[in-house]
Structure 1
Amino acid sequence: MINSAISTINNLLWGQGQILIYLLLFAGFWFSFKLKFVQFRHFRYMFKVMKDSTQGDKSGISSFQALCTGLSARVGTGNLAGVAIAISLGGSGAVFWMWLIALLGMATGFAESVLGQLYKIRDGNNEFRGGPAYYIRKGLNKPWLAVLFALCLFLGYGVSFSAMQANTIADALNNTFAIDPTYTGAVIAVIAGFIVVGGLRSIARFAELIVPFMGLAFVAVALVITAINIQHLPAMFADMFASAFGLTEAGAGALGAAIKNGIQRGLYSNEAGAGSVPHAAAGASPVPNHPVAQGYVQMLGVFVDTIVLCSCTAVVILLSDITISGEMEGIGMTQNAMSSHFGEFGHYFVAAAITLFAFTSVVANYAYAESNLHLFKLDNKLGRAAYTALYLFMVFWGATASLKEVWSMADAALGLMTLVNVYAIVLLTPTIVSITKDYQSQLKTNKTPEFKLDNVDIQGKTEKGVWE
């Protein structure tokens, strides 16, 4: 009965109904237009704002830590297994649609992260917390919708997403080293437990150490593969664009599959509009101390995740000599592609990469759901202990579950979250536009932007003592 319900939801949101595909395209165009294509106009500034991003304070983590925490959740199975699934089901053209949804999603990611910062609160430890549930409650004054989002988030990040990441790690290690998934699940749960018990700061410090290292290593390997196969690049790009617009032999049917799978997996990878990354954004004390500064930081996260890292996986697969079957394939396809380039070392490298990528996602997922305990007045020892126990159990269970079962549950949770979040941020557009204009007008006068509530028009109310 549960599988039937999940299947119905996914069919409505992702399948024949394709509600989310249209919704996310609308959101991307909407915020790109309303923010005057900030992702292109301020592309260079997006990197410049990172200059002082390593500074934090006792109330919040640094902007760089927030970026790494966001990338910890983003950079996972979506980059290695998700790209393989998109290509196996949608052909090489799916990569083009992943790029498109990322470029549009940069504006959406900017908008939701700005709101996460603006409406953040202080928890019982006097640390910053926030996310869609908080800006829905404080900005829109819709507590019932805030609770609905938080429940969807617990279903997704608190339950199914970590199970899915554990499943991918177990699958990769089983394929390479024949390690029993049960043992893998137990080890992941124990190590994750040691890290998450320290809360957001512990998770942010872990992300700050691991994410840059693993990202640069993966990009370096992809560049080596590109250099070795540089003569095949023109043919690869020609096939990609022909497939993206249905110009191959398969025709219109392949076009639909490319668009659907590219956008679906692109969203899953960069999470723009899903309402997840605002939790990391809200936990930061940005420099300059203005909500919009963190919007630029998290917009960079969308770019790095999809335009850079997902493209690396696509290059590894499309420049290999493996056959694309048309059947759903995950991490095994990426491993086979890497092995075609580097032999047995390829299998070992992907196993190590997916273990790191997915494990950082497992840890960051905990932080997102944990941020919403305050909403239910469970931000105490008992509430945290109960949530942590459920989270670790799902990590252990996910390692032995089937690929299709876990991904279907994750797709349903992500879809429901996105539906609620996009509805909320579109309603909060006047606030996003107002504070973005305030920030950018100060930039034009060569001032270091400073946030003052009296200078902007916002909907609802912010938490007392945060911005006054």
Structure 2
Amino acid sequence: MIQQIVDTINGIVWGPITLFLIVGTGVFLTFRLGFIQVRSLPYALKLVFTKSKKGDKKEKGDITHFQSLMTAMAATLGIGNMTGVASAILLGGVGALVWMWVAAFFGMATKYSEAILAVKYRTVNHKGEISGGPMYYIEKGLGWKWLAVLFALFGFLASFGIGNMTQSNTVAGSLQATFNINPWITGFVLMVLTALVLLGGIRGIGMINAVFVPFMALFYLSGGFIIILLNITEVPAAFAVIFEAAFNPQAAGAGAIGIAIRYGIARGVFSNEAGLGSAPIAAAAAKTDYPGRQALVSMTGTFLDTMIVCTITGLVIVMSGLHLQLGADAAPVLTGDAFESFLPGFGNYIVVFGIIFFAYSTIIGWSYYGEKCFGYIFGDRNTIYYKIVFCIVVMIGAGQTVQLVWDIADIFNALMAIPNLIALCLLSGVIVSETNRFREVRKREKAEAKKLAG
């Protein structure tokens, strides 16, 4: 009965209007910003992987550019990159991968826009910590307090789905299948580990993720790269199958194009979170001199998440052919089985430990998002109650049924995205203005650099 109700709501909130709004907002912002995700990506990546200027330490903010991105990446680099990709392929066919890429390309402009507004409209709470995100730019930029509260409510509730139950549930399922560990034991351990980190606040979260995220990403990506390099001759055929299924599903033996689009976009958003309004909450905490600079850093998160990590997962699954043999409920094990088929006795462990690292970091990242949303509604002084409940739900989620957990997460993702996307469209003039302002700054910086070089 509960599953039927959830399925009905899911079908409504993830209907054509929401899908159009998500992709349409990205397309709209891409054109308004002159394809910034193409023109500025090299500089954005340089900002991520080079040391911040010494002067940045004097800027407002709680964490560095890199720590901010890693906190956002901690929340996005999760089971969406493994189980989410597998789920998209099983439910929407391999063509869903193309629609994940399309959504991610335009989502980079969306992610950039979210961050630029988050930094511009951020504020300082009673603890002296930075608070920002869609609830603040909706209230300050649009003057719509009611919509800001609505976003914060959905964000607070979403943190228990996308950033909590789905993560602990997948970790518990993987450990039970691989090592026969009781899900409730896994849930308890995750709850304790989460509670320990939450005591450190955003600075503690930022420092941990700055080390944790690069390590876990390299660990998982190394396994994927090895498989692809050892089977490089099969890669062109895999891409051919993917694109044929996306645009000619009958010929590829897949389902309807609409199904591929629906699951490709839904799981893509679950993975990279572009448009949800979650990542700008972390972006707002960054030490930066201009909103545009941090916005470029945030934009790279979508590129790294979907274009790199999800693509590697998708290629390994397609090359394995296992998606043709398993049912829709096999998403939790498909990626592990695919890796194992290429690296017997070792591949499954790459995915299992990848899931543990990715899911735990996502729980930590989303705890911060949920805390900020909760604090916006109920006051920062009361966030301790949120932290306690969040930790308890980590354990509860480990023992729930997989489909119900994922479907609830999908619902709150959509409900959270809608107020945020409306705000991005209505505040697009501010986004363009801040972008132009930063372009002038970049021109001056380039001129100064030329003088020094000359």
TM bracket (short chain) = over 0.9
Residues 147-186 of structure 1 mapped to structure 2, 5 A cutoff: 147-158=149-160, 161-186=163-188
Task: Say if 1:59 and 1:45 are closer, same or farther in 2 by CA, change over 3 A.
Answer: closer
Q: Which residue of 1 aligns with 2:443?
A: 444
Deviation, structure 1 residue 231: 1.4
1:272 aligns with 2:274: yes
Q: 1:49 aligns with which of 47, 50, 62?
A: 47
Residue correspondence of structure 1 range 208-219 to structure 2 within 5 A: 208-219=210-221
- Please list every run of 5 or more consecutive structure 2 residues that lacks an aligned counterpart in the other structure: 449-454
User: Relative to structure 2, which stretch is displaced further, 308-317 or 52-61?
Assistant: 52-61
Partner of 2:396 in structure 1? 397
Specify the code of the residue in structure 1 equivalent to 2:115.
S
Whether the 8 Å CA contact 2:71–2:205 is kept in 1: the answer is yes
- Give the TM-score of the pair, scaled to structure 1: 0.91
1:72-87 to 2 correspondence within 5 Å?
72-87=74-89
Give the CA deviation at 1:447. 5.7
Asked whether the 8 Å contact 2:89–2:323 carries over to 1, the reply is no
| Corresponding letter in the other structure for 1:351 | V
1:160–1:262 distance in 2 versus 1, CA, 3 Å: closer
The structure-2 alpha-carbon separation of the partners of 1:123 and 1:373, relative to structure 1 and needing over 3 Å to count, comes to farther
Conserved? CA contact 1:105–1:302, under 8 Å: yes
Whole-Å separation in 1 of the counterparts to 2:61 and 2:444: 29
Q: Deviations over 1:310-352 (max 9, x none)?
A: 0111122112142423524322011111110111212222111
Q: Which residue of 2 aligns with 1:285?
A: 287
Determine the structure 1 residue equivalent to 2:97: 95
- Considering only aligned residues, what root-mean-square deviation do their CA atoms show, in Å? 1.9
Deviations 1:211-246 (A, max 9, x none): 011112222211110111111112111111101102
Note if 1:309 corresponds to 2:309: yes
Percent identity for Structure 1 against Structure 2: 39
Q: Which residue of 1 aligns with 2:431?
A: 432
Label 1:412 to 1:377 Cα distance change in 2 as closer, same or farther (>3 A): closer
* Conservation of the 8 A alpha-carbon contact between 1:242 and 1:248: no
The answer (yes or no) to whether the contact 1:13–1:20 under 8 Å persists in 2 is: yes
In the alignment, the residues of structure 1 paired with residue 57 and residue 333 of structure 2 have an alpha-carbon distance, to the nearest angstrom, of 40
Task: Note the C-alpha offset of 1:18.
Answer: 2.3
The 3-state SS of whatever aligns with 1:85 is: helix
Residue type at the aligned position of 1:300: T
Unaligned runs of 5+ in 1: 450-468
Deviation by residue 1:244-295 (Cα, 9 ceiling, x = unmatched): 1025436784322221111111111010000000100001112xx0001111
Contact 2:138 2:148 in 1 (8 A): yes
In 1, distance between residues paired with 2:408 and 2:20? 21
> Partner letter of residue 389 of structure 1?
I
* Mapped partners of 1:268, 1:255: distance in 2: 20
User: Which structure features the higher share of helix residues?
Assistant: 2
Distance in 2, matches of 1:292 and 1:448, equals: 18
In structure 1, give the amino acid aligned to 2:423.
A
Q: Are the counterparts in 2 of residues 243 and 254 from structure 1 also a CA contact under 8 Å?
A: no
SS of the aligned residue for 2:143 comes to coil
**Aligned partner (choices 12, 37, 40) of residue 39 of structure 1:** 37
TM-score scaled by length of structure 2: 0.94
CA distance in 2 between partners of 1:53 and 1:220 (Å): 27
Q: 1:212 to 1:255 in 2, by over 3 A?
A: same
